[in-house]
Structure 1
């Protein structure tokens, strides 16, 4: 409507002034409702053509969209294990800091496993003490076995010398030789027992203790999982958890945590695909939001997504007909405030209207630019003012449209 009014000033009004003052035709006499088309046909035709051209130029080089949202990410409050809630530390809409406890599950099973691991460590320590005591006793047995062995050797040597004189029988000497072998076996057994005890004390028991300590640490981790903490600072929403509720990480989350700074710095806009060659990173933009009426927020395009979500394909067991993707998608554009605090006061998730403006300053500064291109680029930059005025009119009319004309 604004474009039509502007174009009519440049086309229909001069045509009427010519008819009125050059030809002497007046409204109500020569120019009536029935003869208006014939009398002002050149102005009306030029007005329609100029309006269509102006609207096309404005919306192509200075695109606009109503698909703008202050999107924010939420964090689902989930425990790492299934359990029954024993204690709740926060309420709905409560503010929490990072690491603050939210609720605690019943940890009796984990506490029992933790106590079992502690007892196992104590048992291994006791076994080590017993082995050390046995090791001290084995030293005495070794000395006793070595003494008995030496006595058997001495007696055998003495009686072996008396065999020739006939004072000792050969069978007695053979018995003493067998006794020496027996005493030698006792010494070897005592030494082997000592080596076994030393291996147990030096290798086996420390390894078992390390395994038990690892089991203790694992049990402690499982017990710590029963206390659910906030991963980031934010606000707890939809948190209707009460003691006795069963929480399941797969089927029944506890609530939602809205991060403190989520949605405070970026607007995400969906522009038409036809503007893909116009919208570039660094373009100046403006936005007005329903949650903050009568306010124009200067923005800048920080990123343009190079894919359109409507064309994505996920592998499945069925062939995809391209007709199912016939609905055109939008070009996702990320907008950030041009000045710090630009989105302060805008509720997260608020719907907005945004304009992006083409800037040809660098092209116009080129000394080799042609005259027609110079005029065209000047016209492109000039009509951006029209779109900026339209956005301000929308910002003024937005509350009226939302509260009155929408019927709510």
Structure 2
């Protein structure tokens, strides 16, 4: 309607004034088409042209919102709630405890792991005592071996000097005794090496394994404490002591990040407007949660893909004729000035405009005078959408509060 009114000022109104005051015709309801047909047709053509230029070079959309993602309060393990530390709507910092689950099973496993470490440390103490015992046995075995070797050498020397002094049976007995003493010495040394290997390798490895089991038990115990991963607000939190929660079916609530929905507005524009949408474009938004306010924004990102074109690999071929809904181009808009989104409620419904700017192209001198004039005219038509956005911002509270019946 606004475009028709603007176009009629330069087409229909001059035609009417010429017919009425220059030609002296009295225009009636029945003669309006015959007398003003040139003005009416020109007005319609100019209106269509103006609408095409405005909507193409200065895209507008009614689908814009401050989207945000929530973080579910979900435990890593299932269990019954034993203690609740926060309440609905409370603001928490990152790492703050929210809910504690019953941890009797995990505490029992932690106690068993600690007892296992104590048991291994006791075995290490016993092994050190065994090592000292094996040292004493080695000294005893060496003494017995030395004594048996001395006796054998003495008897052998006596037999060498006088064959009748020592019998062969006596020599065989001493040789067997010396061999037994040497074997006992070797066994004592082997026992000592076994004790040393047990102290140096086996028991430390067992202790390391027990310490790992202790750490794992501590991790499992820590999982029973649900903590806030980020700073934010606790919402939809209704758990009570005794409730059963698990990571698949029963989350404890929702955590909304403190900066959720306060960085950028996501706006959906039609695909035909995609060539005009560029990073760096200046725009304006008007949101229901902040009425009668126009917020200047800048386009920071334009998504390169249309969501309706995606598909998921399955055992069936994709039939594009089933994609009835036409997708839109997603654009991210951030406030042009710091604090521009203050007072906006995350998730608000907004209207957004983006304005093309050909100033650099005009200043480059690549176009003729007519081309520069056309680019100036295209940039100037952005005032139409700006006016429409302001009219919508003025009428939005009246439309919602009065005309809708709420």
User: One fold, TM greater than 0.5?
Assistant: yes
Runs of 5+ in structure 1 lacking a partner? Answer: none
* Secondary structure of the structure 1 residue equivalent to 2:259: coil
CA drift at 1:337:
0.3
Per the alignment, residue 152 of structure 1 pairs with 148
Displacement of 1:67 in angstroms is: 0.8
Q: Are 1:121 and 2:87 matched, yes or no?
A: no
Structure 1 residue 20 corresponds to structure 2 residue 20: yes
Partner in structure 1 of residue 66 of structure 2: 70
Partner of 2:208: 210
Structure 2 distance, partners of 1:84, 1:13, is: 78
What TM-score does the superposition give when structure 1 sets the normalisation length?
A: 0.97
How far has the Cα of 1:218 moved from its partner?
1.2
For residues 27-38 of structure 1, the aligned pairs below 5 Å read 31-38=27-34
Instruction: Find the counterpart in structure 2 of residue 11 from structure 1.
Output: 11
Q: Give RMSD over aligned pairs.
A: 1.2
Deviation at 1:88, TM superposition (A): 0.7
Q: Deviations over 1:350-385 (max 9, x none)?
A: 010000001011122123421221221111011111
Runs of 5+ unmatched residues, structure 2: none
Q: How does 1:286-297 map to 2 (within 5 A)?
A: 286-297=284-295
Deviation at 1:208, TM superposition (A): 1.3
Q: Which residue of 1 aligns with 2:44?
A: 48
TM-score (norm 2): 0.97
Query: Where does residue 102 of structure 2 map in the other structure?
Result: 106
1:162, 1:366 → 2: CA distance? 125
**Aligned residue among 364, 370, 373 for 1:372:** 370
Tell me which moved more, 200-209 or 70-79: 200-209
Cα distance in structure 1, aligned partners of 2:317 and 2:341: 44
Are 1:143 and 2:163 counterparts?
no
Aligned pair 1:90/2:82, yes or no?
Answer: no
1:155-211 alpha-carbon deviations (Å, 9 max, x no partner): 222222344442322111111111111111111111111111111111211111111
SS of equivalent residue, structure 1 residue 340: coil
Q: What is the Cα deviation at residue 82 of structure 1?
A: 1.4
Residues in 2 aligned to 1:157 and 1:6: alpha-carbon distance in whole angstroms: 133
Give the superposition deviation at 1:309: 0.3
Q: Residues 197-276 of structure 1 correspond to what in structure 2 (within 5 A)?
A: 197-276=195-274
2:59 matched to 1:59?
no
Cα distance in 2 for partners of 1:316, 1:401 equals 47
Secondary structure of the structure 1 residue equivalent to 2:293: strand
Q: Deviations for 1:220-265, whole angstroms, at most 9, x for unmatched residues?
A: 1111111111011100111111111111111221111000001101
Separation (CA, whole Å) in 1 of partners of 2:272 and 2:334: 22
Task: Tell me how far 1:407 sits from its aligned partner.
Answer: 4.0
Say how many residue pairs are matched. Answer: 404
Quote the Cα distance in structure 2 between the aligned partners of 1:113 and 1:140: 41
1:392 to partner: Cα distance: 0.3
Q: What SS does structure 2 have at the residue aligned with 1:342?
A: coil
Number of the residue aligned with 2:167? 169
